[in-house]
Amino acid sequence: MDDNMQAKLDSYLELFQQLKEKASSETVALTLLQELAKDRRMEEMREEKEAKNNKPATSKQKRFMDDLGIKYPKGVTKKEASMLIEEEIGKNGE
């Protein structure tokens, strides 16, 4: 097991122990831990998506914007390109 995975496991085990001390039963503590784990994963997914959206637009996006006649900045990101495309398509009803 790599160090990152071991650190996460240790963190969850410590959190589980804390929850067991405060919850009415081990089952409740486990249920709370599962929900917290889901929340953490959702946050990680949001961060990953945001990082992906901040990358430069793809060549396919740029070609499509060119085809639609959209003017875009040199360093346009994936997210910005997507928004520009959606806006243009919405205007033209295409």
Domain count of the fold of the chain: 2
* 12-71 pLDDT tens trace: 899 999 999 998 999 999 999 999 999 999 999 999 998 888 999 999 999 999 999 999
Please check whether residues 43 and 85 belong to one and the same domain: no
Please check whether residues 48 and 32 belong to one and the same domain: yes
State phi, psi for 56 to the nearest 5 degrees: -60, 150
Position 89 pLDDT exceeds 70: yes
Q: What is the pTM of this model?
A: 0.58
pLDDT band at 94 (very low <50, low <70, confident <90, very high): low
Residue range of the domain that includes 28: 3-53
Position 93 pLDDT exceeds 80: no
* 57-86 pLDDT tens trace: 999 999 999 999 999 999 999 999 999 999
Please check whether residues 10 and 47 belong to one and the same domain: yes
Please check whether residues 18 and 34 belong to one and the same domain: yes
